[in-house]
Amino acid sequence: MRIMNSIAAPLASLSRFHPIVIEGMGYYDPRDPVLVAKQVASQLKRHLVETQNCNKPLLVITQGDPLNERGISAITPLVAQELNVSRGLVCLDDHLDPNHSKYADRDNVILEFRYSQLVEILEEEQSSSTSVMTHLEEKIDSLILSKNNQRQELGKAPLKDYFKVYALLQEVTKASIRKICGDLTVAHTADDISEFSVTSFYTVGLELGLVEKHRMVPYGVMDYLDFDQIDKR
């Protein structure tokens, strides 16, 4: 794959790694992040051994969440610590969210990218008239409409406006990094995923063939999570 000159250096560095993307609840996750991280790391170790998919050094990819006591931003660095590896960071461009990069946790981060750089990777050398980004946006828009119809029936407000851009960030990150590195592993921090979470949009990448199902690592423990109580959005 040809990498454009403006972003050649960091993306060429990324291709040396096997990327691990971890997805899950944000600050509202009520569970102990240390215990969750140990479970995620254990599942990852087992998966990588079973698939013999660890010929490159591992890199845990973080998607810019500000550090909190609980949730994905607390869990991800702990997983990297359990695996004894570094992290990569993807942030939204300032025109999409001026605070995303500003408040991102950069501890143990050795490579950092912007969302627009990864979009550029997906859009270059397109073999069809409809771009990957067009397909992603259409699928995410359709899913948001479906979820909002469900929420209306339940007497809930529509999803927040930011859901689309963060769902795109999630799916573009995985698709582009898989294209750069030639492989990808995705781990979830829970087996029970709220249908009204950004994480739930992982089905879009699977449906479009941008992520392979056998590269997804289940959490492996069914925790009781009452999303109506813990996620008030």
Instruction: Give the model's pLDDT for residue 41.
Output: 97
Report pLDDT digits (tens) over 34-87.
999 999 999 999 998 888 767 899 999 999 888 899 999 999 999 999 999 999
Percent of the chain with pLDDT over 70: 93
Q: Residue 7: exposed, middle, or buried by beta-carbon count in 10 A (0-12, 13-18, 19+)?
A: middle
Q: Does the reported pTM lie above 0.75? A: yes
pLDDT of residue 225: 79
- Tokens 């990588």 identify what position? 48
Residue 3 has pLDDT above 60, yes or no: no
Average pLDDT over residues 102-129: 86
pLDDT tens sequence across 149-192? 999 999 999 999 999 999 999 999 999 999 999 999 999 999 99
Q: Please report the DSSP string for 45-99 in residue order.
A: HHHHHHTT--SS-EEEEE--PBP-SSSHHHHHHHHHHHHT-EEEEEE--TTT-TT
